[in-house]
Amino acid sequence: MSDIIIIGAGVIGCSIARELSRYDAKVTVLEKANDVACGTSKANSGVVHGGFDAKPGTLKAKFNVAGNAMFDKLSKELDFPFRRNGAYVLCFDDDKWDGLKKLYDQGMENGVLDVKVVTGDEVRQREPYVSKEVKGALWCPSSGIVSPYEMTIAYAENAADNGVKFVFEKKVASVAQNGRKLRVVCEDGDCYDADVVVNCAGLYSDELNNSLCEKKYKIVPRKGEYMLLDKTAGYLTGTTLFQLPTAMGKGILVVPSVHGNILLGPTAVDIEDKDCKDTTYDGLAEAFEKACITVPSLTKKQVITQFTGLRAHADAGDFVIGWAEDKPMYNLVGIESPGLTAAPAIAVHAAKEISSRLSLKENPSFNPVRKGIPCFATMTEKERAEIIKKNPLYGRIVCRCEVVTEGEIVDSINRPVGAKDLDGVKRRTRAGMGRCQSGFCSERVMEIIARERGIDMTEVTKSGKGSEIIVGRVE
């Protein structure tokens, strides 16, 4: 059986893993972090883009439009939160109408046929908190929102259910030719031989490619800082609000999350450090001030947390998708925005190319359906009563802000590709994601993690090795 190694368990790696699990092959995902969705896939705007923004003829445009169309079916199949909430691109100056017109034309050319130009009043009719300075907008009803990490987790769980193996805390150092195969060398000395290596290493996809191939790439980490507002600010907008884009990206957004929070950001600054996840005083100030241009009534009182995400910006400007020269390495380099939207389509495309090169047969037992963790917070009273009867741990509410039960937390740890630490539980269940930001529940969640994983409390981490939460016992 053919050996396929996927390097990187972000949304690209996990979606390709799932699509490859439709075929009869031995697929292994190597990930340097201790969980999936630990890089770009966990910290982005969560927007499923319409597809009018990408330059016609590019891979970005092609996969964006194709990916967007897949979300309705996919989100049901894999049971992750997704909603078509529509998006406006706002124009604040009468002399910038040609900018909107250009986006409109681009949309038409890319096949986004539902876009139209509307007046500022029409925008405010739908979203009354949008600035009075808005003169007009591009309206794209097919734009949506998704929880990017929950989507990645869903892909990973379904891949695992269909036989894909995930190896965490396995940082790859290089890839080298080894006869007809490729040898993946890990930092800890472990080696994996593979018939095909799939490079989904995100910010590090350049280094991985460059370690094997003549043609070199360069990824520039483009840093974006965000602020997340409490659900009580959810009334501010139900629609994704863009400002007219600039050379650095799509500008500062005000966007609802699928869970009802509001997200402000991202800034866009090219940096050097690929591990940087720090927010800055100036960056947060910029995100907030620019978001206020769109929604002037925003207040910092509603902010519950801040975070930074890095986009894997390739110097070439477009996605790099395909075989690396004549090597059996399949590259996915520079998958920045609209990479999340494009992921489902990219995955299907990549899996087809890989399976055809390896002449893979179909996996007859492939099951496309994954069920998520039953979410107590969104259940009706009847459903709540029933689930507690079935599993009494659902009667123990651990996170009071987001109403997350012990039942959900235990499930999140014990399911395939399960949570290992606080952040893993948080991304799967929302425990600790509410307004108190885990002040009350972190200690309870730590106890549950220690108990379920059979580890000591002092070994429980926030987000992987080196992030242990307590330093020892009280003497």
Partner 1 sequence: MSKKNLIIIGGGPAGLAAAKSAYDAGERDILILEREDKLGGILNQCIHNGFGLHTFKEELTGPEYASRYIDQVKERGIEYKLGTTVLSIDKNKRVTCANEKDGLQIYEAKAIILACGCRERPRGAINIAGCRAAGIFSAGTAQKLINIDGYMPGKEVVILGSGDIGLIMARRMTFQGAKVKAVVELMPYSSGLNRNIVQCLNDFDIPLMFSHTVVEIKGKGRVSSVVIAQVDAKLNPIKGTEQEIKCDTLLLSVGLLPENELSKMADVNLSPVTGGAVVDDDMMTQTDGIFACGNVLHVHDLVDFVSEESEWAGKRAAAYIKGEKASGESVAIEAKDGVRYVVPQFVHREGEGNLKLKMRVGNVFKNVRLCVVCDGGEVYSKKCMIVTPGEMETITLNEKQTRALKNSKQAVVCLKAVEK
Q: Which of 233, 397, 409, 419 contacts partner 1 by CB under 8 A?
A: 397
The residues annotated as belonging to the active site are 49
Q: Which is nearer to partner 1, 167 or 457 (CB)?
A: 457
Measured distance CA(219)–CA(232) in Å, rounded: 38
Residue 131 contacts partner 1 per CB under 8 A: no
Q: What long-range pairs does 407-415 form, CB within 8 A, spacing at least 24?
A: 407/374, 407/376, 408/373, 408/374, 408/375, 408/376, 409/445, 409/448, 410/448, 410/452, 411/373, 411/374, 412/373, 413/448, 413/449, 413/452, 413/453, 414/452, 415/157, 415/373
Q: Say whether residue 211 binds partner 1 (CB under 8 A).
A: no
Q: Does 463 bind partner 1 (CB under 8 A)?
A: yes
CA-CA distance, 464 to 468, in Å (whole number)?
8
Q: Strand, coil or helix: what is 43?
A: coil
Per CB under 8 A, 305 contacts partner 1: yes
Q: According to the binding rule CB under 8 A, does residue 453 interact with partner 1? A: no
Do residues 273 and 120 touch, judged by C-beta distance below 8 A? no
Among 303, 318, 352, 353, binds partner 1 (CB under 8 A): 303
Q: Which residues 321-380 are close enough to bind partner 1 by CB under 8 A? A: none
The DSSP result for 294-358, as a single string, is H-TT--GGGEEEEEEEEEEEETTSS-EEEE-TTSSEEEEE---TTHHHHHHHHHHHHHHHHHHHT
Alpha helices in 92-224 (DSSP H): 97-110, 120-126, 148-161, 205-210
Distance in Å, CB of 221 to partner 1, minimum: 15
Alpha-carbon distances, residue 134 vs 116, 128, 237, 256, 338 (angstroms): 16, 11, 15, 19, 25
Q: Does 466 engage in binding with partner 1 (CB under 8 A)?
A: yes
Binding mask 264-293 for partner 1 (x = CB under 8 A): -----------x-xxxxx-xx---------
> Please, what is the minimum distance in Å from the beta carbon of residue 187 to partner 1?
16
Q: Which of 307, 328, 336, 350 binds partner 1 (CB under 8 A)?
A: 307
CB of 407 to partner 1, least distance (A): 10
Member of 388, 452, 453, 459 binding partner 1 (CB under 8 A): 388
From 112, 12, 16, 14, select the one nearest 65 (Cα to Cα).
112
Residue number, 149 or 307, with CB nearest to partner 1: 307
Please tell me whether residue 381 binds partner 1 under the rule CB under 8 A: yes
In the complex with partner 1, which residue's Cβ is closer, 323 or 440?
440
> Does residue number 396 form part of the binding site for partner 1 (CB under 8 A)?
yes
Applying CB under 8 A, which residues contact partner 1?
A: 227-228, 275, 277-281, 283-284, 300-301, 303-307, 381, 384-385, 388-389, 392-397, 400-401, 403, 435-440, 442-443, 447, 457-458, 461-475
